[in-house]
Amino acid sequence: MLAAFSISVLSAQTKVIAHRGYWNCEGSAQNSIASLQKARELHIYGSEFDVWMTSDGVLVVNHDATVEGMRIDDTPYEKLKDIRLKNGEKLPLLEEYLLEGKKDKKTKLILEIKSHNTKDKEDRATAAVVEMVKKTGVKKQTEYIAFSLNVCKELVRLTPKTEIAYLNGDLAPQELKALKISGIDYNLSVLKKNKDWIEKAHQLKMKVNVWTVNKEADMQEMIDAKVDYITTDNPVAARELITKK
């Protein structure tokens, strides 16, 4: 009885996801290959990153829609390929990012597909990402997140057994469950206002992730509320807080 209790407590422990990788340190930059390598060294649950498709179908890793004044989904890769990140790395291709991630299967790849400027582009980007994840052999360690409900629905259709979480914060867990979406990944302010969604999601066997939690008091509040994952720019602080308990 006691053993079973301990196991359930352990499995319920909140885990840490590095937001845009671990970039808040020397030699790193948001969404860089280095940020993935540095997240890996922390032995946390996962490392998050953002994915766009260029106008000619190349998948790249970047947060903003626009780089150096060019909207990624309207620009051919040729015009983007020489762009440098803050740490000197070039704009990563999704393929090289996933192959780097594959070197340590224990670090989950939390792949955000961004909201493209047409439904057609979004559908093509989603299909291409799912193909690339399959081709690079990282399907088992990849989990998807997206603000676009369209992207989430496409993911359910294309890769139904994979973890897929919705980011936009405007739907209750049961509405997403009905669409076969497996988790909520909501802004801190949304979950503070709707704490009952955490329990509701768990009752529905859905996962709960929260972004972007950078203050220790907020981390503690979310740990106490039993979220499954905390997505943070301060993964070291979050990890320390959890292991201290």
> Is residue 143 a contact point for Mg ion (CB under 5 A)?
no
Helices 235-244, 216-224: inter-axial angle, 10-degree rounding:
50
Q: What part of residues 47-86 is at the interface with Mg ion (CB under 5 A)?
A: 50
CA–chain centroid gap for 8, Å, is 25
Taking CB under 5 A as the binding criterion, the range among 52-60, 106-114, 173-181, 225-233 that sits at the site for Mg ion is: 106-114
> Is residue 112 a contact point for Mg ion (CB under 5 A)?
yes
Taking CB under 5 A as the binding criterion, the range among 45-53, 88-96, 127-135, 179-187 that sits at the site for Mg ion is: 45-53
> Measured from the CB of residue 243, what is the shortest distance to Mg ion in angstroms?
25
> Measured from the CB of residue 111, what is the shortest distance to Mg ion in angstroms?
9
Taking CB under 5 A as the binding criterion, the range among 93-101, 104-112, 116-124, 153-161 that sits at the site for Mg ion is: 104-112
Structural contact between residues 80 and 72, judged by C-beta atoms closer than 8 angstroms: yes
Between 50 and 218, whose beta carbon lies closer to Mg ion?
50
> Is residue 228 a contact point for Mg ion (CB under 5 A)?
no
**Which has the closest alpha carbon to 183: 46, 35, 70, 3?**
46
Between 50 and 204, whose beta carbon lies closer to Mg ion?
50
Q: CA–CA separation, 220 vs 237, rounded Å? A: 11
Instruction: Give the interface with Mg ion as residue ranges (CB under 5 A).
Output: 50, 112
